[in-house]
Amino acid sequence: MSKEAMRQLEGSQVSVALRGGGRLDDCQLVSAPRGQSRMVWLFDGLMDVFVPMTDIVAVWEPAPARAA
């Protein structure tokens, strides 16, 4: 995913697939990389998380929950 595409998701709740098979679910994408920066700033509900862009495989907005 490009930095520009990631910027479109700033402020959104997202899930992030990481290299090595890890995932971060239900976190807020606070800031995509700018300029020479390679770090993505996420908030997981408890703390800020900074992830190198090179460790991110995919970022997506989760589907809305279905009404029961």
According to DSSP, residue 37 is labeled -
Average pLDDT over residues 18-35: 94
pLDDT in tens, 27-62: 999 999 988 889 999 999 999 999 999 999 999 998
68: pLDDT strictly greater than 70: no
pTM given for the model: 0.85
Q: Which of 10, 24, 30, 34 is nearest to 58 (CA)?
A: 24
15: pLDDT strictly greater than 90: yes
For residue 28, how far is the Cα from the chain centroid? Answer: 7
- Taking domain 3-60, whether its CATH number is 2.30.30.100 is answered by yes
Residue boundaries of the structural domains of the chain: 3-60
